């Protein structure tokens, strides 16, 4: 009798479970919008297909809300997709307020805390395809959203009930089409699977993932302003890809070093969640999972969340040739930093035996990792919220028991004798990162230096005081060796991020009692001024920026700088330079940072003939004639090696050929002495003039008689 009742209950058309099943069936699938199964070999979606899918899912599912945060650099919609159970989505503003009160102890009463912990959700931000040649991120968000929108398993229901998932389908929608269009145009040609001969972000290319404290690009600001600043997620899953001939996926823990201003609660949470994800994935049959490898926990340029209460779970899945499959034998597999792909170790326990690796495999590993993260985060909702509260309490306490270095009370910034634009930009950068900036109401002293009332003050006892300290102090990268007495371990990335040196602004660390200050100040207006005398002396030059088809990020950043400040320029390619008569068209030619071989030789044989060749000998002769005719050639960073060789300059790069075990500076700030009275230094007012040194050359004049 009981069995008959159960059967009747399941089959009754009016029962809520039957209605849910019908609703799930009616939802659009990714395949219904794409026209093929997601992850199919040699198929990449367009950004319109991605937006069409999420628009349709928003209309069909009460579990999904799709919002457009704004337009990208090239005018495409930038999306954020909120996924949770229907009752949560209907009350998002309420849960945002709960999140704010959990984050900042100043916003809640002590008696409120327990109810907030009961009511709050674990907010999880999943960002995808910031790097557009990492094409799994085009498709993985669609599969994840579909799984949550129609999921009726215990795990899916737990995720929906205990979390608010914020899915950013792409941090760089423009790149989805730049890479996708190039890939589709090269199918069945020798160029299939190559990267496009242009930056996949108009200005930054791959460097868009180094913008997380400078906030120069509109896409970065959408995520920071509308998602981080509004929601302060407990967990961020940053979905990436890496090289294809070693492990299949990286998941934290990270390698050393850990930047000292990251709260150990976040490091421990990152480690625990990453290991739990790897455990789940291994149990479901995934192999080639590396942890404690390749990537460190140092720079805020790529890990904003770790300074803003959120663990950062970076996943790096092995790549193919864009969406074209590759194949490796076991013996062809190499190694990554911290592991060997043919040897099982504690941090690489299950070997991948080689074979074919497809676009579908990339998507499957990314979905598996993100799903494991969601299930674990939902299961431990209360613990995540409690640690989130602890982070907020510790940030507001002047006693940082876990800190390995003295913590100043505040940083003080005088208004006088500063470059007004540099000062405004520094303050804007801090405030954009949720740092509170105040003004002193009484004089202050740091050592023998007095700072008048009205100086800017940044306290370290504020919600993001550790982030402020990270950006305002000088970094001391730890001395990590390959083995005792051996060479230094190479840092994964840049090692410096001191805003006072980058902007040339005077900032002092104050260690006295809490100063008397105002309420947080509003954004400081950007000053404007003109320098007519300098304009009359120099004129307005006709500027050209060389744009190689072997595209470089520095070329994009140079264009961004000129566009940002309204400086007119013309982009020129190999053909334009080789044509000669540069002096008749330009006063200044800029060659952005690029290695000399690429400038001279251009792209390789895999690319169409129309894109190959580089500057060649005709280009070198044209540049030499331009300089002899009075033109100014500026070669940035490693492009200097090309200029030295092509123009036969009486200069040598003394670091050329030096082993990186003897000298290695992947991104450091060096103080410099300036030549007074030179046109290039006339407006430099920095208290400590500094330059950014990133694998850069250093010069020695070989024939002073020619200078």
pLDDT at 21 > cutoff 60: no
Q: Shortest CA distance to 237 belongs to which of 308, 181, 156, 310?
A: 310
pLDDT at 698 > cutoff 50: yes
Q: What pLDDT is stored for residue 6 in this prediction? A: 31
SS (H, E, C) 263-280: CHHHHHHHHHHHHHHHHH
Q: What pLDDT is stored for residue 10 in this prediction? A: 39
User: Of 395, 414, 435, at which residue does a domain stop?
Assistant: 395
For 156-183, the pLDDT digits (tens) are 999 999 999 999 999 999 999 999 999 9
Q: How far lies 581's CA from each of 446, 481, 627, 646, in Å?
A: 58, 52, 11, 17
Number of structural domains (the chain) is 2
Q: What pLDDT is stored for residue 23 in this prediction? A: 56
What is the residue range of 663's domain?
Answer: 538-706
Q: What pLDDT is stored for residue 706 in this prediction? A: 78
Residues 14-51 as b/e (b if ≥16 CB within 10 A, e otherwise) read eeeeeeeeeeeeebbbbeebbeeebbbebbbbebebbb
Instruction: Kindly give, in sequence order, each residue whose CB lies less than 8 Å from that of residue 259, ignoring residues fewer than 6 positions away.
Output: 297, 298, 299, 300, 306, 470
pLDDT at 248 > cutoff 60: yes
Helix (H, G, I), strand (E, B) or coil at 371: helix
Q: What pLDDT is stored for residue 335 in this prediction? A: 94
Q: What pLDDT is stored for residue 176 in this prediction? A: 99
SS (H, E, C) 471-527: HHCCCCCCCCECCCCCCECCCCCCCCCCHHHHHCCCCEEECCCCCCECCCCCCCCCC
For 567-618, the pLDDT digits (tens) are 999 999 999 999 999 999 999 999 999 999 999 999 999 999 999 999 999 9
**Are 290 and 348 within 8 A, CB to CB?**
yes
**Domain-located, residue 105:** yes
**Domain-located, residue 641:** yes
CATH code of the domain covering residue 335: 3.40.630.10
pLDDT at 19 > cutoff 50: no
User: Of 395, 413, 434, at which residue does a domain stop?
Assistant: 395
CATH code of the domain covering residue 688: 3.40.50
Q: What pLDDT is stored for residue 9 in this prediction? A: 35
Helix (H, G, I), strand (E, B) or coil at 609: helix
Q: Please give the residue that has the higher pLDDT: either 463 or 526.
A: 463
Per-residue pLDDT, averaged over 649-666, amounts to 91
For 537-573, the pLDDT digits (tens) are 667 899 999 999 999 999 999 999 999 999 999 999 9
SS (H, E, C) 213-252: CCCCCHHHHHHHHHHHHHHCCCEEEEEEEECCCCCCEECC
**Domain-located, residue 472:** no
pLDDT at 114 > cutoff 80: yes
Res. 681 pLDDT band, cuts 50 70 90 = confident
pLDDT at 86 > cutoff 80: yes
pLDDT at 371 > cutoff 60: yes
pLDDT at 532 > cutoff 90: no
pLDDT at 535 > cutoff 80: no
Q: Please give the residue that has the higher pLDDT: either 532 or 105.
A: 105
Q: What pLDDT is stored for residue 476 in this prediction? A: 92
**Domain-located, residue 616:** yes
For 42-56, the pLDDT digits (tens) are 999 999 999 999 999
Q: What pLDDT is stored for residue 4 in this prediction? A: 36
CA dihedral for 226, 231, 233, 237, sign (positive or negative): negative
Q: What pLDDT is stored for residue 152 in this prediction? A: 96
**Domain-located, residue 445:** no
Q: How far apart are CA 635 and CA 426, in angstroms?
A: 28
For 316-367, the pLDDT digits (tens) are 999 999 999 999 999 999 999 999 999 999 999 999 999 999 999 999 999 9
Q: What pLDDT is stored for residue 687 in this prediction? A: 84
* Residues of the chain above pLDDT 70, percent: 95
CA atoms within a 13 Å half-sphere pointing along the CA-CB vector of 392 = 20
Per-residue pLDDT, averaged over 656-675, amounts to 89
pTM of the model: 0.94
Q: How far apart are CA 259 and CA 251, in angstroms?
A: 19
**Domain-located, residue 1:** no
The length of the chain, given as a count of residues: 707
pLDDT at 205 > cutoff 50: yes
**Domain-located, residue 122:** yes
Q: What pLDDT is stored for residue 25 in this prediction? A: 58
Q: How far apart are CA 142 and CA 103, in angstroms?
A: 30
pLDDT at 305 > cutoff 90: yes
User: Of 350, 370, 395, at which residue does a domain stop?
Assistant: 395
Res. 100 pLDDT band, cuts 50 70 90 = very high
* Residues of the chain above pLDDT 90, percent: 86
Q: How many helices (H) and strands (E) does the chain have?
A: 24, 28
For 497-514, the pLDDT digits (tens) are 999 999 999 999 999 999
Q: To 5 degrees, how large is the angle CA 149–CA 154–CA 156?
A: 25
On average, the pLDDT of the chain sits at 93
Per-residue pLDDT, averaged over 446-474, amounts to 96
Spell out where 420-460 has E strands.
Answer: 438-439, 444-446, 449-451, 456-459
**Domain-located, residue 56:** yes
Residues 343-368 as b/e (b if ≥16 CB within 10 A, e otherwise) read eeeebbeebbebeebbbbbbbbbbbb
């Amino acid at each position: 009798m009981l069995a008959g009742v159960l059967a009747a209950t399941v089959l009754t058309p009016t029962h809520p479970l039957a209605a849910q099943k019908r609703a799930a069936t009616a939802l659009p699938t990714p395949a219904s919008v794409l026209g093929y199964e997601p992850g199919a070999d040699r198929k990449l979606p367009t950004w319109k297909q991605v937006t069409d899918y999420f628009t349709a899912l928003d209309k069909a599912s009460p579990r999904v809300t799709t919002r457009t945060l704004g337009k990208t650099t090239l005018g495409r919609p930038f999306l954020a997709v909120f996924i949770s159970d229907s009752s949560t989505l209907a009350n998002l503003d309420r849960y945002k307020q709960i999140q704010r009160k959990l984050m900042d102890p100043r916003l809640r009463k002590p008696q409120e805390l327990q109810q907030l912990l009961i009511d709050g959700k674990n907010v999880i931000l999943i960002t995808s395809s910031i790097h557009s040649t990492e094409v799994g991120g085009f498709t993985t968000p669609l599969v994840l959203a579909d799984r949550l929108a129609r999921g009726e398993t215990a795990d899916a229901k737990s995720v929906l009930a205990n979390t608010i998932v914020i899915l950013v389908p792409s941090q760089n929608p423009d790149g989805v089409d730049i890479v996708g269009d190039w890939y589709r145009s090269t199918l069945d040609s020798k160029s299939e699977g190559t990267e496009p001969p242009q930056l996949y972000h108009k200005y930054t290319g791959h460097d868009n993932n180094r913008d997380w404290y400078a906030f120069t690009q509109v896409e970065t600001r959408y995520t920071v302003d509308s998602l981080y600043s509004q929601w302060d997620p407990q967990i961020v899953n940053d979905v990436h890809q890496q090289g294809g001939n070693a492990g299949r996926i990286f998941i934290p823990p990270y390698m050393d070093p850990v930047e000292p201003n990251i709260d150990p609660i976040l490091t421990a949470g990152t480690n625990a969640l990453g290991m739990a994800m790897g455990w789940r994935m291994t149990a479901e049959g995934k192999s080639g999972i590396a942890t404690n490898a390749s990537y460190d926990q140092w720079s805020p340029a790529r890990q904003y969340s770790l300074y803003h209460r959120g663990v950062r779970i970076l996943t790096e899945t092995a790549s193919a040739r864009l969406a074209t499959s590759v194949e490796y034998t076991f013996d062809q597999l190499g190694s990554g930093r911290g592991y060997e792909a043919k040897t099982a170790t504690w941090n690489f326990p299950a070997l991948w035996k080689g074979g074919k690796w497809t676009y579908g495999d990339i998507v499957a590993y990314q979905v598996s990792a993100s799903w494991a993260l969601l299930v674990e985060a939902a299961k431990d909702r209360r613990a995540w919220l409690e640690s989130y509260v602890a982070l907020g309490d510790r940030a507001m306490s002047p006693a940082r028991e876990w800190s390995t270095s003295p913590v100043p009370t505040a940083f003080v910034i005088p208004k006088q004798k500063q470059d007004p634009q540099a000062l405004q930009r520094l303050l804007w950068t801090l405030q954009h990162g949720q740092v509170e900036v105040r003004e002193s109401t009484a004089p202050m002293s740091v050592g023998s230096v007095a700072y008048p009332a009205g100086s800017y003050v940044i306290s370290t006892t504020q919600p993001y005081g550790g982030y402020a300290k990270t950006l305002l102090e000088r970094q001391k990268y730890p001395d990590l060796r390959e083995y005792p007495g051996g060479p230094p371990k190479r840092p994964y990335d840049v090692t410096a991020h001191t805003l006072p040196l980058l902007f040339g602004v005077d900032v002092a660390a104050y260690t006295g009692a809490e100063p008397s200050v105002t309420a947080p100040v509003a954004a400081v207006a950007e000053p404007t001024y003109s320098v007519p005398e300098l304009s009359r002396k120099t004129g307005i030059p006709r500027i050209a920026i060389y744009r190689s088809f072997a595209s470089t990020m520095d070329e994009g950043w140079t264009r961004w700088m000129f566009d940002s400040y309204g400086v007119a320029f013309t982009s020129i390619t190999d053909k334009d330079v080789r044509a000669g008569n540069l002096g008749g068209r330009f006063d200044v030619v800029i060659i952005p940072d690029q290695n000399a071989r690429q400038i001279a030789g251009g792209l390789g044989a895999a690319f169409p003939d129309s894109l190959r060749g580089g500057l060649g000998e005709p280009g070198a002769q044209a540049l030499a004639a331009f300089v002899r005719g009075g033109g100014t050639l500026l070669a940035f960073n490693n492009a200097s090696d090309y200029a030295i060789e092509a123009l036969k300059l009486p200069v040598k790069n003394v670091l050329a050929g030096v082993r990186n075990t003897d000298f290695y500076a992947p991104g450091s700030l060096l103080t410099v002495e300036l030549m007074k009275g030179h046109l290039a230094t006339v407006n430099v007012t920095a208290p400590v003039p500094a330059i950014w040194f990133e694998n850069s050359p250093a010069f020695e004049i070989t024939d002073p008689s020619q200078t």
